[in-house]
Chains A and B, each alone.
Chain A
Amino acid sequence: MAACNDKRFETMLYAYELGMLSDEDREAVEIHQLACEYCFERAKQFREAARLMQVDPAVRQAIRQIAEGDTAAEKTDATDGQVSAVKSKAWSLGGRTILAAAVLLLLLLFRPWNIEISPRKEAVAAENLLAIMYFDNLSDPADSRRIGVIIPSLLITDLSESPFIQVVSSERLYDISKLLGQDERNLDDENSAFKVARKANARWMLTGNILQTAPVDIVTTRLIDVASGNILNTQKITGDSGMTVFTLADSLSARIRHDLAAQTTTATRESNRLVADMTTHSQKAFQYYLEGTDYYRRVYYAEAIRSFEKALEYDSSFAMVYYYLAVIKDYALLAKAVEYSEKATRKERCYIEGLQARRKSNIPLAISIYQRLIDDYPLEKQAYYAMAVMQFGLEKYEDAIGRLNIAITLDPFFGNAYNMLSYSYGRMGNLAKALEMNDRFIFLSPNEPNPYDSRGEILAESKQYDQAIASFKKALEKKSDFYAAWKHLGLVYTYGGDFVRAESCFQVIASVQDIYVWTDGKALLARNLMYQGKYQEALTVLADGAREDKKAHGEAEYATYRQYAAYIYAQRGDSNLAREEIVAAEGIARRFHSDDEILWRRYYAPIMAEAGDFASARRISEELKIALEEAGRQQGDYWYCLGIIAMGEGMLNDAEAYLRKATVETDTFDYSAHYMLGRILVELNRPGDAIGQFDNMVTDQKDHPGNWASWEAEVYYYLGLACQKSGRPREALDYLTKYLEIRRNADSQIKSVIDARERRAALIAGMSS
C-alpha cells in the first residue's frame, strides 16, 4: 500500500481521532481518508484504541495521573547565554535625566531628520483609552512613601486587565511627559495633565488626590472626559485600619470600572483578580519594583538591579522583578519569572513568554506572542522593539525597520531602536542610512560607549576597517572596560592578520574577575589561535579555561571549551579524544542548556560525526529534528547534520543532497552549510560550483561561533583548490597565498597547510616556465 501523499493529514490523524480538530479540519481529514487508503487503514487499525482513549474512564484516569505527576516534577532550567546576536543594552551608567530645556533643544535639533512626534494612526489604540495620572499627595507633598505613585500604578495594572478599556501605560505617560518637557510625577496643574492625556489620545483621564494617609487613607479621584473637560464621576475611598494600598486600589478599581461601564456600551463582565495577585502583596516590594523600573527606563542598570534585588527581599515570588533581572543581569532568573508568572498581568505574561520562547530559539512562537501583544496593546514600544529584534535575527531587515519606525514614532528618544535601525540598514547594505541612525543614537547618548561600538561593527561589516578601529577605540575612551568593544576590536585585528594585537584585546577580556566575562575571553583567545591553525596552543588555552570553570563553579558549566577541543581533535584525526571531549560537552549542555534544545545539538552532532561516532551523531540529529519540529522551525539544521554524517561515511552524493537542503530550508544564511557544500563539491570535482559557494564565505565576516574560526581561514584554501581545478591559476595563487599568510605559524602537521604550500610552489613554477 502506498504511503500517504499528504503528510499534513497524517500528522493530524491522532488529533482527529481524539476529537481535537475544528469542524473544517475534521472535514478535510475525513475527505482525505475517503481517497487515501493508507490513512484510512491506519485509522481503522487504531480505532478501538482511539475509542478507549476517548471514553474509557480507566484510560482517562491514567492519563490524568501521568500528567499530574509530570507537572509536579517538571522544572525549567535556564542558563546564561546570548539571546540576540545584537546587544541591545547600554553599559554605562552615567546618563542624566533629560531636562526640559534639553528636551526642547533636542526637539529643535531633530527637526532636520523629520522625526514624527505624534503617534501614527495605526499605532493609536482603541477608542476606550484611559490615562491615569499620578496622584497628588496633599497630606505629604514630598510623597515620601510614594503613595501618589503606587496607587495609580496599581490602578494601571488592574485596569489593564480589562478587555474593554485600554489604559495608557506608565511608560507611555513617561515618554509623552518627557516629550512635552514635563515630569509626569509633578504635573503642575490640570492643564499639563490634559496635555499629556490628549497627546496620548486618551478618551478619559483619571486624576486623584490623597487627602490623608494616617490613621487611615482617604483618596479621591475624578474621571474626566478629555475632549470636553467634563467631570464624569468622582469617587472617595476612606480606608479602614485593615486596608492596604492593594485593597484600596482594588476598591477604587472596581468603582472606576463601574463608572467606565456607564460610559461605554460594552458589558462589564470582567475578571475579578485582585491587583495584589497580579503584582505583590508587599508594599515595600512594589515600591522598590517601581523604583527599579524607573531606573531601567533610564538605562541605569546597576541601580535598577539593586532596587529589584531589594524588592525580592520583601517578596521572593514577584514575577516581573525576575523578568527584568533576567534581561539585565542573569538569564537564569527567567525560570523564576516563568514559575511565578500567574502573579503577573496578561501583558506582562506575554513578555515573559516571549523571552522564554526566544531563549528556546522558538522564533515563530516568540513572534506570535509579540504580535499578540501588539494587537492587544498597540502603544507598547517595547513590543515593537522585541518584534524587530526577532525579525532582525531572521534577516528580515525591512520588517524590522517597519517595526522600529513605529517604536520611534511612539518615543523619538528610544535610543535602542535607533541602534537596531542602524544595524538593520547596515545589513541591507545601506551604509549611509545606517550611519545616520547611528548618529541619532550617539546624539541621544553621547557619553555612552555602546553607540560608538555599534558604529564600529557597522563599519567593520562594510569593510571600512580603519574607521571601525577608530570607533572601537572611541568606545573604549568612553568606558575602558566595555568588553564588547575589546572583542570587536580584536576580531577586526584578527581578520586583518594582526594576530598579536588581536590577542592583546582578548587578553583584556580574559583577565577580568567576572567569571562570565573572562569565560568569553578565554574562548576568544582560543578562537584566535584556531584561526591561525595553532591548535596545540589553543588546546592549552581551552584546558586552562575548563579548569578555571570547574574551580569557579564546583563543576564544569561552560561546554564551549570542550566543544572547541573536540573540534580540534577531530581535525587532527584524534577520534577518541574528539569523542571524549564532545561527550563531556554534551553532558554539560544537557545539564545546563536544556532550555535551548536546538542550539547545542546543531553543533554537537556534526562534531560527533567528524569524530567517527555516527551512531551518536544520528541520535542527536533525530533529537534535533524533533526539537525543530516542535519549535515550528525549518529543518535546515537537521539536514546539515545528516550531510556531515554522510560525508564522514564517504557518501558524497547523499551529503551534497542533504547540504543543499540545508542551505534552502533555513530562515537565515547558513554559513556552515554553504562551507561544507563547497567542500563536497571540490571532492566531487565540480570546482566551478564550489567557487560559487565559497564566494559567499569570504564576504561574510560576521561574528561567527568559534568552531568556525578555522573555516574562516580554510575557505581560502578551498577556493585556491577550486580555482586551480578550474584552470584559474592566478586566482588560485592569490587564495593560497592568503591562506598561507593566515596560517604562517600554524602547527606543522596540518594537511591543508602542507598541501597549500606544495600547490603554491607548483603554481609559481608553472607560471615561471
Chain B
Amino acid sequence: MDIIELYTAAAAGDQTAENRLFHYLSERFEQFSHHRIWDTEDAKDVTQEALAAIAREYKTIGFETSFLAWAYKVLDNRILSYIKRKQQRGDRIITVEDVGLMDNVSSDINPQLQTRLLDCLKKLGAANRRHARILSLHYQGFSTDEICGRLRMTKNGLYINLSRARSMLEVCLETGEVK
C-alpha cells in the first residue's frame, strides 16, 4: 500500500493501517526535525508532539490539500514554535557551529565511518574539484547565491555538481573507490 492508501484505510478505521501510517510518518518526521533541531531529545519531543496532533485531528478534518502537505505543516509549525520559544527565553538555539563543540554529539560519531569519509573526501577532491570549494565557502557562512557568484555557477549547476559528488561519495563509502 502506498502512503495515500494507508491514510485512506486508517481514516476508515483500519487499525493496522493506522499503525503503519504513523510508523511511516514517524521515521520521516524524525529525520526532518533532526535536520533543524540538533538537540536529539528536543527533536524527538517535537516529532512526538506533531504526531500526537495529527493522530487527534486527521480523521476529522476534510482536506482541501493533501494529507501529506497538511501533516508536514503540522510538524513545521511545531518546529517553528520550538525555535520561537527558545528565542523568547533567550536560550541559544543550538546551531551547527555549536554542535561541533558539544561532547554528546562528538560521542555519537562513528569513528570507522569518519575514517572512511575522510579518505573518500580526499579521493573525491581529485575528481571533483569544485565540491570542496563549495563546501568550504558554505562552512564560512556564504549563502548559496554568494557561492554561485564566487564560483561563477548557476544554482542548478551547483546542485548538479553536489549531486554528482554525493553519488561518488556514496559509492566510495561502500567500495572504497571513487568512480
Contacts and interface: CB of A to CB of B under 8 A. Distances in A.
Interface in A1-56: 10-22, 26-27, 30-31, 33-35, 40, 43-49, 52-56
A632 interface: yes
Nearest to A21: B144
Contacts of B152: 353, 356-357, 365
Interface string B155-179: 0111111111110011001000000
Contacts of B69: 31
A74 interface: yes
Contacts of B138: 18-20
B132 A14 contact: no
Contact of A43 (B31, B96, B159): B31
B132 A630 contact: no
Interface stretch (B45-53, B54-62, B84-92, B106-114): B106-114
11 contacts: A11-B159, A30-B72, A33-B32, A49-B173, A52-B117, A55-B38, A55-B100, A59-B118, A67-B132, A67-B136, A368-B154
B28 A67 contact: no
B117 A15 contact: no
Contact of A364 (B32, B154, B170): B154
A27 to B, nearest CB: 7
A554 interface: no
Contacts of B164: 626
Interface in B60-93: 68-69, 71-72, 76
A632 B31 contact: no
A18 B105 contact: no
B23 interface: no
Nearest to A32: B68
Interface of B: 3, 25, 27-28, 31-32, 35, 38, 68-69, 71-72, 76, 96, 99-100, 105, 109-110, 113-114, 117-118, 121-122, 125, 129, 132-133, 135-139, 144, 152-154, 156-166, 169-170, 173
Contacts of A626: 164
A319 B41 CA distance: 55
Contacts of A40: 27-28, 31
Contacts of A12: 159, 163
A108 interface: no
Interface string A323-362: 0000000000000000000000000000001001100000
B144 A632 contact: no
A335 to B, nearest CB: 14
Contacts, number: 141
**Which among B72, B121, B129, B159 has the highest number of chain A CB atoms within 10 Å?**
B159
B39 to A, nearest CB: 13
Given A52-B114, A59-B121, A18 B3 contact: no
A57 interface: yes
A71 B150 CA distance: 12
Contacts of A357: 152
B158 to A, nearest CB: 7
B163 A67 contact: no
Given A54-B96, A66-B132, A630-B160, A34 B118 contact: no
B118 to A, nearest CB: 5
B113 A48 contact: yes
B92 to A, nearest CB: 16
Interface in A437-469: none
B3 A44 contact: no
A101 interface: no
A190 interface: no
Given A12-B159, A15-B162, A59-B121, A630 B135 contact: no
Contact of B72 (A13, A19, A27, A62): A27
A14 B166 CA distance: 6
B153 A14 contact: no
Nearest to B145: A22
Contacts of B71: 34
A48 B110 contact: yes
Contacts of B157: 629-632
A365 B28 CA distance: 37
Interface of A: 10-22, 26-27, 30-31, 33-35, 40, 43-49, 52-60, 62-64, 66-71, 74, 353, 356-357, 364-365, 368, 626, 629-632
Contact of B28 (A15, A17, A33, A56): A33
Given A27-B72, A40-B28, A70-B125, A63 B139 contact: yes
B129 A70 contact: yes
Contacts of A10: 163
A58 B162 contact: no
B118 A62 contact: yes
Contacts of B169: 49
A632 B28 contact: no
Nearest to A47: B31
Contacts of A33: 28, 31-32
A37 to B, nearest CB: 9
A35 B68 contact: yes
Nearest to A70: B129
A69 B132 CA distance: 10
Contacts of B38: 55
Contacts of B121: 59, 62-63, 66
Contacts of B118: 58-59, 62
A62 B122 contact: yes
B1 to A, nearest CB: 12
A541 B88 CA distance: 80
Contacts of B109: 52, 56
A390 to B, nearest CB: 15
A630 B159 CA distance: 9
Contacts of A34: 3, 25, 28, 68, 71-72
Nearest to B125: A66
B105 A15 contact: no
Contacts of B139: 60, 63-64
Given A19-B96, A67-B135, A67-B136, A629 B160 contact: yes
Nearest to A357: B152
Contacts of A74: 129
A632 B71 CA distance: 35
A630 B153 contact: yes
A11 B132 CA distance: 18
B16 to A, nearest CB: 19
Contacts of A629: 157, 160
Given A19-B138, A55-B38, A632-B154, 16 more contacts: A14-B165, A14-B166, A17-B166, A34-B71, A35-B68, A44-B31, A57-B100, A58-B118, A59-B118, A62-B118, A66-B121, A67-B136, A68-B136, A365-B152, A365-B153, A629-B160
B136 A52 contact: no
B117 A18 contact: no
B113 to A, nearest CB: 6
Given A14-B162, A67-B133, A60 B156 contact: no
A27 B164 CA distance: 22
A71 B125 CA distance: 12
A63 B124 CA distance: 10
B103 to A, nearest CB: 12
A60 B118 CA distance: 10
Nearest to A36: B3
B34 to A, nearest CB: 8
